[in-house]
């Protein structure tokens, strides 16, 4: 049993995602090493009774409380996105997957993973910028083709005018 517990603890500590567990009041009961690194808190900060709502922007706290309540009641949903706040005050986007924790027939809290979406959001923004650049390049290509076609047609008209002018000069 100790060996299995050690194995799962090592697994949880080695994951690149944040693994957490909170009680029904929102007090953080477990946070893996990735969570400490991502949020900038120390184990001492957490051991003093850290409420998870402090790690989110005020605009998200009510929605987070409702989602926790629904989760505790047994509702299952996919990833929920929020804006989290580090200890130093910097904000960053996160996605959370969570499920209720049972002890016998009683719900005692919520456990889940939290994913930092900063890189994902940055990639989405870069993709949008590249799409805009591609659209701009396609517009320029279309204008170039149009200008080339107009120049060719104009050259055809000029050739006829120059040809008739040369014939008129010969006469």
* 22 beta partners: 28, 110
pLDDT of residue 34: 93
Tokens of residue 57, six digits: 């922007």
CB atoms within 10 A of CB 98: 22
Between the alpha carbon of residue 72 and those of residues 49, 69, 116, the distances in Å are 21, 5, 23
Q: What is the pLDDT of residues 119-138, one digit of tens each?
A: 888 999 999 999 999 999 99
**Cβ contact 47:29 at 8 Å:** no
Assess whether pLDDT exceeds 90 at residue 47: no
Indicate if the pLDDT at residue 14 is higher than 90.
no
Mind listing the pLDDT tens digit for each residue in 52-85? 999 999 999 999 999 999 989 888 888 999 999 9
Q: What is the pLDDT of residue 32?
A: 92
Phi first, then psi, for residue 49 (nearest 5°) are 100, 65
Cβ 107 vs Cβ 98: under 8 Å = no
Q: What is the pLDDT of residue 78?
A: 86
Report residue 15's pLDDT band, with 50, 70 and 90 as the boundaries: confident
In the predicted model, is pLDDT for residue 18 greater than 90?
A: yes
Q: Is the pLDDT of residue 46 over 90?
A: no
CB 89 within 8 A of CB 76: no
- If you write DSSP's letter for every residue of 86-153 in order, what string do you get? -TTS-EEEEEEEEEEEEETTEEEEEEEEEEE-HHHHHHHHHHHHHHHHHHHHHHHHHHHHHHHHHHHH
Taking residue 132's Cβ as centre, other Cβ atoms within 10 Å add up to 10
97 band by pLDDT with thresholds 50, 70 and 90: very high
In the numeric block, the tokens 């930092």 are attached to 116
């Amino acid at each position: 049993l100790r060996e299995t517990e050690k194995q799962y603890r090592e697994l949880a500590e080695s994951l690149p995602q944040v693994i957490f567990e909170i009680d029904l009041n929102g007090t953080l009961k477990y946070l893996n090493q990735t969570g400490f690194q991502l949020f900038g808190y120390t184990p001492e900060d957490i051991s003093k009774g850290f409420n998870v709502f402090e790690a989110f922007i005020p605009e998200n706290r009510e929605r987070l409380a409702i989602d926790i309540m629904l989760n505790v009641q047994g509702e299952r949903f996919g990833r929920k996105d929020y804006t989290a706040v580090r200890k130093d005050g910097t904000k960053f986007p996160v996605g959370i997957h969570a499920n209720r924790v049972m002890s016998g027939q009683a719900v005692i809290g919520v456990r889940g993973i939290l994913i930092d979406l900063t890189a994902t959001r940055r990639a989405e923004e870069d993709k949008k910028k590249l799409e805009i650049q591609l659209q701009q390049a396609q517009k320029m290509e279309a204008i170039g083709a149009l200008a080339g076609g107009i120049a060719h047609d104009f050259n055809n008209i000029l050739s006829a005018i120059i040809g008739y002018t040369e014939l008129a000069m010969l006469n």
